[in-house]
A and B are shown apart, each in its own frame.
Chain A
Amino acid sequence: KAGVTQTPRYLIKTRGQQVTLSCSPISGHRSVSWYQQTPGQGLQFLFEYFSETQRNKGNFPGRFSGRQFSNSRSEMNVSTLELGDSALYLCATQEAVNTGELFFGEGSRLTVL
């Protein structure tokens, strides 16, 4: 099976722009979660989607949003980028909700200048 695929792997944006990141889960995985990883804060939960519905959301401002498509692929969007949004954004998938193991992609590294 192919692993979790995230695109793009690297991107540079300037303050005020918006960005969309994509995640293709492992075949058969219907739950997709997003995490932000920074050196100071570690891994922080953004949101989780299952069957195109957001089931849980972390403590991030409304500038961070996401969606899931019928084929389980997910996108997350960050609008009005700030310098502090520079981070590695990780997507993690599960076969079903609450089964335990998360399978992570390699992440999308966003740099905001």
Chain B
Amino acid sequence: GENVEQHPSTLSVQEGDSAVIKCTYSDSASNYFPWYKQELGKGPQLIIDIRSNVGEKKDQRIAVTLNKTAKHFSLHITETQPEDSAVYFCAASLSGGSNYKLTFGKGTLLTVNP
């Protein structure tokens, strides 16, 4: 089955700096790569996703890049703000088939210091 590795497990940055979280996946058939943000006491919420036919996607201060050859994808947050502090999860799945499930990385605790 799919295996997703996520690094780093914790990340501390100063407000205004950039943050980068990296993930690798094992199943070359995976074609959908979402990123979820989980705030304390809440369920994860989708912040951005990318499909395997796209190499990069951007939404305001966040961007995701995908390297299918290396089976690697990353989340980039620019101009970080204290409200970006949360746990971030990457995930991978084979979207479109009948067996749909997300395999998550173990999460990155991002702390943005004011």
A binds B: yes
Contact B97 A43 (CB under 8 A): no
Contact B43 A48 (CB under 8 A): no
Interface string of A83-113 (1 = CB under 8 A from B): 0000000101000011011101111000000
Contact A41 B102 (CB under 8 A): no
The interface residues of chain B lying within 8 Å CB-to-CB of A48 are 100-101
The interface residues of chain A lying within 8 Å CB-to-CB of B36 are 104
- Confirm or deny: A42 has a beta carbon within 8 angstroms of a beta carbon on chain B: yes
Q: Which of A42, A45, A58, A106 contacts B43 (CB 8 A)?
A: A106
The interface residues of chain A lying within 8 Å CB-to-CB of B44 are 43, 90, 102, 104
Chain B residues within 8 Å of chain A by Cβ, number: 26
Contact B107 A98 (CB under 8 A): no
Distance, CA A90 to CA B43, complexed state (A): 7
Q: Which of B1, B41, B98 contacts A97 (CB 8 A)?
A: B98
Closest residue on chain A to residue B99 by CB atoms: A56
> Quick one: which of A9-50 are within 8 Å of B by CB?
31, 33, 35, 41-45, 48
Chain A residues within 8 Å of chain B by Cβ, number: 25
The interface residues of chain B lying within 8 Å CB-to-CB of A43 are 44, 89, 91, 102, 104, 107
Closest residue on chain A to residue B46 by CB atoms: A101
Which residues of A are interface residues toward B (Cβ below 8 A)?
Answer: 4, 31, 33, 35, 41-45, 48, 55-56, 58-59, 90, 92, 97-98, 100-102, 104-107
A–B Cβ pairs within 8 angstroms, 13 of them: A33-B102, A42-B107, A43-B44, A43-B89, A43-B102, A48-B101, A55-B98, A56-B98, A56-B100, A92-B43, A98-B96, A104-B43, A106-B42
A43-B104, A100-B95, A106-B41 known; 15 other A-B pairs, CB under 8 Å? A31-B100, A33-B102, A42-B89, A42-B107, A43-B91, A43-B102, A48-B100, A55-B98, A56-B98, A59-B1, A92-B43, A98-B95, A100-B32, A102-B46, A104-B44
